[in-house]
Amino acid sequence: MIVPEKLKKGDTVAIVSLSSGMGGEKKYFHRYEIGKKRLEEVFGLKVITMPNALKGCDYLYRHPEARAQDLMAAFKDKNIKAIFTMIGGDDSIRIIPFINQQIIKENPKLFIGYSDTTVTHLLLYKNKITSYYGPAILSEIAENGCMHEYTKKHLENALFTNENIIIESSKEWTNDRIDWTDISKDNEFRKMQSEEHGFEVLQGSKVFEGRLIGGCLDVLNMLIGTQIWPNINEWENKILFLETSEMKPSPNQVIYFLRHLHSLGILNKINGIIIGKPKGEIYYDEYKEAFLKVVKEEAGLNNLPILYNVNFGHSAPICTLPYGMNAVVDLYKKIISIENNNF
């Protein structure tokens, strides 16, 4: 794996829209402006927005090739050091035919996003480039009031330093909703709740390690069998990280997905599973039961470690997980440690 050069203040970064065109819609444009301004003022970066990123939902839906063009142009531009995604969506898979993987391979650089951008993470992984499963512009970076300190700290650690990443449970979380279209509420903070569960061990009682691979369960389900899906040997000794989207798939859908992974032989290859906090803690207990039903009861993998309720993906706040880097998960201390440097 290639770990792209880390950021420093003054570096130029790009914003792309690889799925939804929300950032270009009038009612959400102010959030794009907030996110862009925070990259500039909080992180000290120079920001350019790629030509098609603000053309709105209808245009980008009809032109997946335009989304791919922006991504390719951002990779080719030697002045751009990192690529941030505007927001997720549901059809990044449609950009795959328009991607020139040789351009990605020859121009490794930092890529940041989550949810539907699981597609691009797998594209980079296929080309041996580490990417970062973390905040998007409209959601986490343009968070009402200011970025959550937990989110900001982990993003800075991952993208700006070579210091090891240490992930512990956030002491608070939120599912409070503030209307993104209401500009008058941009400075209104969401109400936070105390974390009652912390990281939960569903099974296993040891320290385990492996390189990270995974993403949004809903999206991964679409990618099985495509040209960018990792072959069976690439799952050997990995840690699979999974999270569910704001669509809140039913527990049965989670079961079907896990059964599919097991039928492919993947569950027998990996060293452990890390599961993100469910959006709003909907299906919190039901998801736990779903994982244990398939992994423990059906697959008979009683000793496969499973850590639950980790702060990444569609929860708030979130950490940043580096794709392909080696992680050490201590189930005693409930800490995830990641070697955050070139290897």
Question: Last residue of some domain: 124, 139, 164?
Answer: 164
Output the pLDDT for position 82: 98
What amino acid is encoded at 69 in this protein? Q
Report if residue 54 sits inside a domain. Answer: yes
pLDDT band at 340 (very low <50, low <70, confident <90, very high): confident
Does the pLDDT value for residue 145 go beyond 80?
Answer: yes
Q: What phi and psi values does residue 187 have, to the nearest 5 degrees? A: -100, 10
DSSP state string for 181-213: T-GGGTTPPPPPEE-SS-SEEEE--SEEEEEEE
Q: Using CA atoms, how far apart are residues 194 and 64, in angstroms rounded to an integer?
A: 41
| CATH code of the domain in which 300 resides | 3.50.30.60
For 341, residues 6+ apart whose C-beta sits below 8 A from its C-beta are: 3, 162
* Range of the structural domain that residue 107 is part of: 12-164
Question: Last residue of some domain: 147, 164, 181?
Answer: 164
**160 shares its domain with 201:** no
Output the pLDDT for position 220: 98
Question: Last residue of some domain: 164, 184, 208?
Answer: 164
Q: Using CA atoms, how far apart are residues 87 and 248, in angstroms rounded to an integer?
A: 18
Q: Using CA atoms, how far apart are residues 312 and 96, in angstroms rounded to an integer?
A: 25
Does the pLDDT value for residue 79 go beyond 50?
Answer: yes
**21 shares its domain with 158:** yes
**105 shares its domain with 178:** no
pLDDT band at 343 (very low <50, low <70, confident <90, very high): very low
| Average confidence (pLDDT) over 70-92 | 98
Report if residue 3 sits inside a domain. Answer: no
What 3-state class would DSSP assign to 272? strand
Reported pTM:
0.97
Does the pLDDT value for residue 108 go beyond 80?
Answer: yes
| Average confidence (pLDDT) over 264-287 | 98
Report if residue 2 sits inside a domain. Answer: no
Contact 288, 255 (CB under 8 A): no
Q: Using CA atoms, how far apart are residues 243 and 315, in angstroms rounded to an integer?
A: 9
The predicted-structure confidence for 18-70, as pLDDT tens digits, reads as follows 999 999 999 999 999 999 999 999 999 999 999 999 999 999 999 999 999 99
Contact 39, 73 (CB under 8 A): no
147: left (phi over 0), alpha (psi -120 to 50) or beta: beta
pLDDT band at 81 (very low <50, low <70, confident <90, very high): very high
**118 shares its domain with 213:** no
**159 shares its domain with 228:** no
Q: Using CA atoms, how far apart are residues 209 and 233, in angstroms rounded to an integer?
A: 17
The predicted-structure confidence for 220-234, as pLDDT tens digits, reads as follows 999 999 999 999 999
**30 shares its domain with 155:** yes
Residue with structure tokens 């009861």? 297
| Average confidence (pLDDT) over 322-332 | 97
Return the percentage of the chain with pLDDT > 90, whole number. 98
**159 shares its domain with 204:** no
Does the pLDDT value for residue 342 go beyond 70?
Answer: no
Q: Using CA atoms, how far apart are residues 103 and 206, in angstroms rounded to an integer?
A: 41
Q: Over the chain, what is the mean pLDDT? A: 97
What amino acid is encoded at 34 in this protein? I
Does the pLDDT value for residue 212 go beyond 60?
Answer: yes
